[in-house]
Amino acid sequence: MEVLQITGGFVSLIGAVFLFLGSLGIVRMPDSYNRIQTGTKATTLGTLMFLIGVGLYNPSWFPKLIVLIFFILFTNPVSSHVLARAAYSIGTELTKLTVVDKLKDSRGEDIDA
């Protein structure tokens, strides 16, 4: 029993570290797209691990936590994708480090045609 609780504590701690890295990522990254990358994904893994840790400490909560985990796992990529597309269509600039932009070529062809 004790072992399970301590494991839960460690898993939660690792999840919290990932949450911190995600929020550090949105401060450090140079443009919106890279912020979406680090922001919404490191935090997904962080939240998942934190919830699993809480579930290991309180096994009777696991059913509700599973609903929460799957909900986050399915909705988070959708919201980051919608945000990225919105950012691109209102013309948010890519950083100067960008090496290639295939989408620009493709949209350019549409306008010509």
Partner 1 sequence: MKNLFISVVLLLSVWLLLNASLSPVVIVSGLIVTAIIAIFFSARNPVFKDMKLNPKAIIYFFLYFFVFTFELFKANLDVAKRVISPKLPINPGIVEVRTRLTSKIGRLFLANSITLTPGTLTVDIKNDSLFIHWIDVSSTDIEGATKKIVENFEKYLEVIYG
Partner 2 sequence: MADTLFLIAGGIIILSLFVAAIRFFLGPDPVDRVIAFDVLTIISISLIALIAHEAGRGIYLDVAVVYGLLSFLGVIVVAKYLERGL
Find the part of the chain contacting partner 1 (CB under 8 A) among 1-9, 50-58, 83-91.
83-91
Q: Are 25 and 38 in contact (CB under 8 A)?
A: yes
Pick between residue 64 and residue 104 the one whose CB is nearest to partner 2: 64
Q: Tell me, what amino acid is at 22?
A: G
42: contact with partner 1 by CB under 8 A:
yes
DSSP at 95: P
Residue for token digits 């929460």?
68
Q: What is the dihedral of CA 25, 27, 33, 36, to 10 degrees?
A: 60
Instruction: List residues near partner 1 by CB under 8 A.
Output: 18, 21, 24-25, 28-31, 33-34, 36-38, 41-42, 44-45, 60, 63-64, 66-67, 73-74, 76-78, 80-81, 84-85, 88, 94-95, 97-104, 106
